Structure 1
Amino acid sequence: MASSQRVTQARSFTCASRRQHVKSARPDDEPALSTHLRQLMRKMPHAAVVATTSTGGPASSSTSNFRGMTVSSFTTVTLTPTPIISFNIRRPSRTLDAIRQSRQFLIHVLSATEAGASVAHGFTKGNSTDVFAKQQFAVWNVGSKYPLPLLSSPGVTKVLRCKLRDEGEGAGLIEVGDHILVLADVESIIEPPPTKDTAALEDTGLSYVDRAYREVGKVIDVLDTEETEELER
C-alpha cells in the first residue's frame, strides 16, 4: 500500500467578515538575504496558538494584569521525560515581560475553524487595547499570586499549562538576536470551559501560511521506495 503524508492546502479563513493579514514589523534597511528568507518562510505552514499570562495581582474580574499574544513559532522540543515546548517573542514585548515575571503561562491550541482564526486574530494587535475585554475568558487560578487567564471559545480545543524552564543557560529565556527563545515545561493539559460549539480534539490545528489562517488540506499519497523499485522492473 502507498504511504501517506499530510500537507497544507490553500484555504483561508475570514475574520470580521473579511480576510485579515497580520502585519509583520520589518525594518526599512533589512538585508536582502533576510527579506528573501522572510518571503520563503511565509510559504511554510506554522502552528498558530495564543499564549496568555499575567503580571500578578488578585484573581478578579479586572483584566488589567492580563497579557496575551498570538504565536506562530510554537513547537514541541521533546516529549520525554518531561514535555518541553518552545516559541519565539520579538522584543520589546509586554507579554514577554509578564512571562519573565510570573514564569508561567497558558498555550491555547486553536481549531482550524473561523472561531479559532478569530481568537488568533484578536491577539495580534498587542496589549495596547484590552483584548481580554473583547474575548470570552475565565481566570484559572493556579494557586499562586499569578492567576492565569484561560480563554473560553469554540475555537479553543485544549490548553497547555506551562512553566519556564529552571535549568540550563538562560533559565527558559534565551536571547537570539532581536528575539527571545522561550523554553517551558508542559505541566498539564487543561480542558477549556465548554461552549455550545466547542471543537473536537480530532479537528486539525490552526495553521498560518502566507499571512493568512488556514486548515490542513488533502492527503498526498506517496509510493514507498520498495514499491517504486518493483514498478520500475
Structure 2
Amino acid sequence: MKRATPTNLSNWSWIWRGAGTRPRQQFLNHICTNCLRRRTYSTKKPNDDDLTTTLRLLMRRVPHPVAIVTASFPSQHSSSSEGRNARGMTISSFNTVTLSPPHPPIISFNARRPSETLDALRASGRFLVHLLGCSPPATRLARAFARGNQHVLSSLGSDPGGDGVLFGFEDIPVDSPDGGGAMTLPRLRVRGEDEEDAFCFVLDCDYMPNHSVDVLDHTVVLASVRRVVQFPSGSSPGKDVRDPGKEFCLTYGDTRFWRVGEEI
C-alpha cells in the first residue's frame, strides 16, 4: 500500500512509527524545504521605495526647528529695491555643528535644489537665518516662504493669509565677506504688533563653500555665525527658560507646526 507524503506536522507520529525508511526521508525533505521557503520569505528586504516611504513616515514623529533663510544676489544690493531682490526659503533642518571658541560657531541646514535662495547666498556669501517664534504670524510666514520665491515676491507688503499679517524686507548694510565693499542683507520684518512674536532670534552668517556638500538633489549648507542680529524678546540667553510655550522656537512635525509643551 502506497503511503502519501505528509503535508503538515499533524501526521508526524503516524508516518514516523508506521512508515519505512524512504517515507521518513520524504517527510524530512518536505519539512526542511518548507522551512527554507518560509525563512527566505521572512527575511526579504523591502525595496528602496518602501524604505523611503517608511522612513518619511517615521520622521514625521521627529519635531524640527523652523527657520527662514534670506539672501540677495550681489549685483542687486540696493536700498531702493524694497525687498524685490531678496530671496527666502523655509527650512526645518537648522542646527549647530560646533560651538568651540575661539573659532566662530558653525551652523548647518539642508536646501533642496534648484533654489533661488541657495543661489543668492552662494553668490553673496552672506545671509540671515530667522528662527521663528511660536505664534500664528510665524506659522503663516513659514507657509508663505515654503511656497517659493515667486509667491513671496508677489506677497510683499500684502496680506497673503487674509488675516492682517503684513511682511516685508529691511535692507541691512553690512560688509561683504570677501572685503570687497558694502552690501545689504534682507532682514524679514512683520509690520505691526506681531513683529515681537514672529521671530525668536536672527543670525548673520557667512557661507562656507569649501565645507558645504551637494548630496543628490540637496545641498548641506555650512556657515559660520558672525553675530546675533536679534535676541529673544523679554528674556536673556543666559537665563533658564520659564515659559517654553513662548520662549522656545517654533517646531514642525507630522506636516504641522507645534508649540513645545511640558517637561518630562
Same fold (TM over 0.5): yes
User: Which residue of 183, 188, 191 maps to 2:227?
Assistant: 188
Q: Which residue of 2 aligns with 1:230?
A: none
Q: SS of the counterpart of 2:70?
A: strand
* Counterpart Cα distance in 2 of 1:59 and 1:156: 23
Alignment of 1:161-200 (within 5 A): 161-165=204-208, 171-191=210-230, 199-200=233-234
User: Which residue of 143, 157, 161 maps to 2:175?
Assistant: 143
In the alignment, does 2:93 pair up with 1:54?
A: no
* Counterpart Cα distance in 1 of 2:109 and 2:117: 13
1:172–1:133 CA distance, 2 compared to 1 (3 A): farther
In the alignment, does 2:131 pair up with 1:96?
A: no
Aligned alpha-carbon RMSD (Å) = 2.1
1:63–1:138 CA distance, 2 compared to 1 (3 A): closer
Moved more, 34-43 or 133-142: 133-142
* Counterpart Cα distance in 2 of 1:120 and 1:95: 15
Give the counterpart letter for 1:174 in structure 2: V
Q: SS of the counterpart of 1:68?
A: strand
In the alignment, does 2:98 pair up with 1:78?
A: yes
Deviations along 1:190-229, one digit per CA (max 9) or x if unpaired, are: 127xxxxx85445110000111111101111xxxxxxxxx
Q: Which residue of 1 aligns with 2:251?
A: 207
Give the counterpart letter for 1:72 in structure 2: S
Question: Which structure has greater helix proportion?
Answer: 2
Q: Which residue of 2 aligns with 1:4?
A: none
Deviations along 1:24-70, one digit per CA (max 9) or x if unpaired, are: xxxxx971111111111111000001100001322224323110001
TM-superposed CA distance for 1:120, in Å, is 1.5
Give the counterpart letter for 1:147 in structure 2: T
Deviations along 1:77-102, one digit per CA (max 9) or x if unpaired, are: 01112200000001111111111101
Question: Which structure has greater strand proportion?
Answer: 1
User: Which residue of 62, 71, 84 maps to 1:64?
Assistant: 84
* Counterpart Cα distance in 2 of 1:51 and 1:76: 15
Q: How many residues align?
A: 183
Q: SS of the counterpart of 2:261?
A: strand
Alignment of 1:94-133 (within 5 A): 94-129=116-151, 130=153, 131-133=155-157
Deviations along 1:102-122, one digit per CA (max 9) or x if unpaired, are: 111100011112122122122
Deviations along 1:124-174, one digit per CA (max 9) or x if unpaired, are: 111113044441331111134541111123311221000012xxxx51421
User: Which residue of 32, 49, 52 maps to 2:50?
Assistant: 32
Q: Which runs of 5+ in 1 are unaligned?
A: 1-28, 193-197, 221-233
Q: TM-score, normalised by structure 2?
A: 0.64
Q: TM-score, normalised by structure 1?
A: 0.72
Identity score, percent? 39
Runs of 4+, deviation exceeding 6 Å? none
Q: Which residue of 2 aligns with 1:229?
A: none
Q: SS of the counterpart of 2:150?
A: coil
Q: Which residue of 1 aligns with 2:261?
A: 217
TM-superposed CA distance for 1:175, in Å, is 0.8
